[in-house]
Structure 1
């Protein structure tokens, strides 16, 4: 499989093809730092990639956007199997032909060959909105008149059936997300421990920033709780918009709440606590639900067999899946116009579209136009930079985004099954924050003792 790399001084993505059986690559096309006959080893690539990422990670503002690729990587690493798809509702009871046709149309508009359950949920929800308008203007009896009138013209009946179908689709979708967590939870202990260790190192590579820098802000389009679980294992404190202990409530206020500590012997000068990051789930979460006019987070264990008992406990004994805040509307802009999604996307725009900001994407396929629009606006600020890390680009969205953005100098790319593999990425290319700080101090000490030339520079390129 071909790999693509583009760093700071590369004009275009450079293609690397496998060369030999030792994991090396060869350059395809023009390249200023290698010739066609050169053998490009992972160690050589590390010498180019790791210092560049280390410097970018010390930008004034650092953001991480995580897509479904991380969940797939963790699940495959823990279980040894490819993750199952999100499924498809085959037996829709009402307006099946219309919904299937609309799903196919919107999927093609998004650059995909076929739709999925996310598209079905979006289409059913939009159809419900339309039928509610028709029912309000044309109240008809619940019991339809006899044939030959077409049955889908009796809007009250169709509206009730569609609402039932929406609940059924949301239930199946929630179960597919929960089953993904469960497969990781039930994995072989040694594989699970190894996988979560890599996940912890992945998260800490981004979150271990000096106290003079702004906090890392993690954004994700995923509905599962893999990032939250990894943060717990890493001891990483996540700050989000939820406030409370029993059933935290989503708050609209953006107070700059943070963690500080008082170092020994110093009074009145608190310092930032290490291991803290801000966290935003752009498309909702498996454990968010709407009740009594607020959004709450309920205590759903990682890998729970079913969400239904917890929904029943939080309501009046009946599990209403329409209360779950998982609205996978990847084509239309529902998220940018309805609560709480308007608040979440405001966080994304305010965190990324500011000077001296770096955004790293991992496992994000660039299939959400409302997110891509924010990223394009971010690139209009000259001091910003985007680093794209992905396992593959089957639909060509990533390369199209780079080409259409017109800001190639502000984009770095690591694309392919080599760069996108979680274990290889952590072992070779991501900065090791703790080691890097120690090496910088060691270099400064050796320099002060005259053991290094005066022109020595640390590989991070940033201030300590």
Structure 2
């Protein structure tokens, strides 16, 4: 499979689907001669067992391939959902009608050329075309630490010390500007037109509950994200979904290195046996930190920063936060300069990620994640060495070819499902047509069993006999 050909296919409005028993990805292209409700057909040269060449394909036929398959997968013994910036962009677009600010490259006032050169090298080594904001922060932190070591014995007014302080000031300014851009994105959704904002949150809630509504005997949903914003937390609050994370406390939650398994459960009245988990609870991990996490007094704290706040500065003036500024924000890979290791707290978060998904009978659903983080990709690759594990990749596009390159590189195609394209990866289309509907599966199964017991596998037509014996004789077992 040619990666460039896949990128061109998606860029022209094509879709990539691989589900159930598909041996290879099925390519769908735009069908201009068909009705609006059946906009796709098989691409030239693409073959599958469920559609014929030149057949008009719409969401009804695609739903038959996708929704039952995803419904079965999300009821795996262990389920995890990895959410990237694609979810935030989709929700913001529905609510505000504009694009969300991205992680654009920044300029440092001191040593900018040296930082840019190293960022280019790092990005090339990681297989990316260009460096991003995280690369710049990582390199700047490494350079800052190196200068601190080299110039430890220099005078405070020496040129080397002034250069060091200038770089530290530049890094703090860059982080403050980036945090402001995140808050601006939250604010533009929070202040959007009421009807549009409600629609956006309705889709976000439906998306989250499609995975969180698991059978009571199944382990809780493990929710992971690489996002710094609080869109997911806001959606969970709207849905009444309780998120359990590593923070303990009410007024000033503190990050704990030991996982806190606060799993509430109940026994249904009159039923004996193993307990059932309480509904509406999920475990939540922000792998890259958050805009409201701060390093303070040797610990990681979460401040009470409202969703939609214009500026974090007023909330940093509380007692106990004296001297705290943007340089203390725990945004990956920015580690507090007084920490013993730059890996804290991220090493704990990634350990949670690996321990949660690298288990038998587990399913991981990736949505809006571009596969640009090798430390995450390696864990997913390790997970697929377990034969019963399955990976579902849902994305609106693949402009850099990372998803299809990862698909080809992993090699375990039978353990992977693909839904890629501006239709299959669209949040509205997913919620309306393809994702499992929350909390109706058990009712659906009971209805099917009732219909089978009464009339066989299908209801009788109006012309069939009303004789009870005839009806009973039509039942199958």
2:398 matched to which residue of 1?
A: 393
Secondary structure of the 1:172 match is helix
Give the whole-Å Cα distance in 2 for the aligned partners of 1:345 and 1:286: 18
Give the whole-Å Cα distance in 1 for the aligned partners of 2:431 and 2:150: 54
Give the whole-Å Cα distance in 2 for the aligned partners of 1:355 and 1:300: 39
Secondary structure of the 1:449 match is helix
Pick from 117, 120, 123 the counterpart of residue 133 of structure 2. 117
TM-score (norm 2): 0.87
Give the whole-Å Cα distance in 2 for the aligned partners of 1:64 and 1:350: 14
Matches within 5 A, 1:72-221: 72-90=89-107, 92-136=108-152, 139-144=153-158, 154-221=159-226
Gaps of 5+ in 1: 145-153, 455-464
Pick from 416, 419, 427 the counterpart of residue 421 of structure 2. 416
Contact kept in structure 2, 1:308 and 1:319, CA below 8 Å: no
Secondary structure of the 2:143 match is helix
1:148 matched to which residue of 2?
A: none
Shift of 1:178: 0.7
Shift of 1:133: 2.2
1:437 matched to which residue of 2?
A: 442
Shift of 1:81: 1.1
- CA deviations 1:430-462 (Å, max 9, x no partner) are 0113232211111111222244369xxxxxxxx
Distance 1:366 1:269, change over 3 A: closer
Pick from 22, 39, 47 the counterpart of residue 24 of structure 1. 39
2:388 matched to which residue of 1?
A: 383
Measured on the aligned residues, the alpha-carbon RMSD in Å equals 2.1
- CA deviations 1:275-332 (Å, max 9, x no partner) are 1111000000111111111111111100110111112225454441122111247xxx
2:290 matched to which residue of 1?
A: 285
Gaps of 5+ in 2: 1-12, 460-477
Shift of 1:97: 1.1
Matches within 5 A, 1:1-20: 1-20=13-32
TM-score (norm 1): 0.90
Give the whole-Å Cα distance in 2 for the aligned partners of 1:401 and 1:267: 46
Give the whole-Å Cα distance in 2 for the aligned partners of 1:427 and 1:182: 27
Contact kept in structure 1, 2:17 and 2:420, CA below 8 Å: yes
Secondary structure of the 2:439 match is helix
1:459 matched to which residue of 2?
A: none
What is the count of residue pairs matched by the alignment?
A: 437
Give the whole-Å Cα distance in 1 for the aligned partners of 2:236 and 2:143: 39
Shift of 1:48: 0.5
Give the whole-Å Cα distance in 1 for the aligned partners of 2:130 and 2:378: 23
